Structure 1
Amino acid sequence: MTTIAVLGNGRVGGNLAAALTRAGHEVTVADRTPGAAADAARRARIVINATPGAGSLERLAALRDELRGTLLVDVSNATTDGPDGLPADLLYPGSSLAEQLQEALPETHVVKTLNTMLFPVMTNPAMLTRTPTVFLSGEDLGAKQTVRELLTDLGWHHEWITDLGGIRTARATEAAILFVPHVIRSSGFVPFAISITR
């Protein structure tokens, strides 16, 4: 059992919290208010950033002391939205939210994952008709191994997990968010994920 704090109580955060609780972890969910987030982060071994990506950097940078020595799992994408509310462009072109977080939180192990799919797939990858892929980006091998174990708790098979390398590789997976509005407009809000087939 691991002590986990999920920052963000929307669809993504609630879905992850429920699944990780079912898997036997001790999970606390905090909303975006500074006091609640700081308290939850202070008591957790692993913190999951499920806050809206456009404000994540400011929120988490304010928790630098609470996140020191912690594993931060970042599942958010930082975008600007179009008139229809769907992602229109990247907030950090030439970089990524994960890179910005790692720079702002040098004593925290940031691992990017679960950001290339609609949220129901995060905790039920077998719901898709074909095998999905989940990616890992981060500098610390031990932190990525811990995230691998969490992913298996969420139903991801080891062979579905691809380690892309350092945190800089997160800019590639974060750019995949630009597919999302076009897929939704084409096919509706139907669960999907990126899959690497070989």
Structure 2
Amino acid sequence: MTRIAVLGNGRVGGALAAALTGAGHEVTVADRTPGAAAEAAGGAQVVVNATPGAGSLDLLTGLREQLRGKVLVDVANATSDGPDGLPADLLHPGSSLAEQLQSALPGTRVVKTLNTMLHPVMTAPASLAQPPTAFLSGQDPLAKQVVRGLLVDLGWHEEWIADLGGIETARATEAAILFVPHVIRSSGFAPFAISIAR
């Protein structure tokens, strides 16, 4: 059992919290107000960033002490939205939210994952017609191992998890968010994910 704080109580945070609780972990959910987030993060071993990516850097930078020594699982994408509310552009071109977080929080072990799919797939990967891929990006091998274990608890098979390497690889997976509005407009809001076929 791991003590996990999920920051963000929307659809993504709520689904992850429910699934991780169902897997036997002790989970606390906090909204994105600084006080609630600080209290939840302070008592956790692993912190999941499920807050809207546009505000994640400011919020989490303010939790530097609470996040020191912790594993921070970043599932957010930092984008500006178009008129229809769907992602239109990246807020950190040439970088990524995960890289910005790791730079701002050098005492925290940031791992990027689960950001290349619609949120229902995060906790039900086997619901798709073919196996999806969950990517891992991060500097710390032990932190990535912790996150890999949590992904397995969420229903991800080991062979569906791909370690891409350092945190700089997150800029590639975060850029994948730009596929999302086009897929939704062409096919509707049905669960999908990026998959590496071999």
TM bucket, shorter chain: over 0.9
Distance 2:66 2:131 in 1: 37
> How far is the alpha carbon of 1:132 from its aligned partner?
0.5
Over the matched positions of the two proteins, sequence identity in percent amounts to 79
> How far is the alpha carbon of 1:25 from its aligned partner?
0.2
| Correspondence 1:1-198 to 2 at 5 A | 1-198=1-198
- Report the AA paired with residue 45 of structure 2: R
SS at match of 2:20: helix
> How far is the alpha carbon of 1:173 from its aligned partner?
0.1
SS at match of 1:13: helix
Task: Kindly provide the CA deviation profile for residues 33-81 of structure 1, in whole angstroms up to 9, marking residues without a partner as x.
Answer: 1110000000000000000000000000000010000000000000000
> How far is the alpha carbon of 1:121 from its aligned partner?
0.3
SS at match of 1:80: strand
SS at match of 2:116: coil
Distance 2:162 2:74 in 1: 16
Unaligned runs of 5+ in 2: none
- Report the AA paired with residue 99 of structure 1: E
Distance 1:132 1:8 in 2: 24
> How far is the alpha carbon of 1:181 from its aligned partner?
0.1
> How far is the alpha carbon of 1:183 from its aligned partner?
0.2
Aligned residues: 198
> How far is the alpha carbon of 1:145 from its aligned partner?
0.3
> How far is the alpha carbon of 1:144 from its aligned partner?
0.1
TM-score (norm. length: structure 1): 1.00
- Report the AA paired with residue 24 of structure 1: G
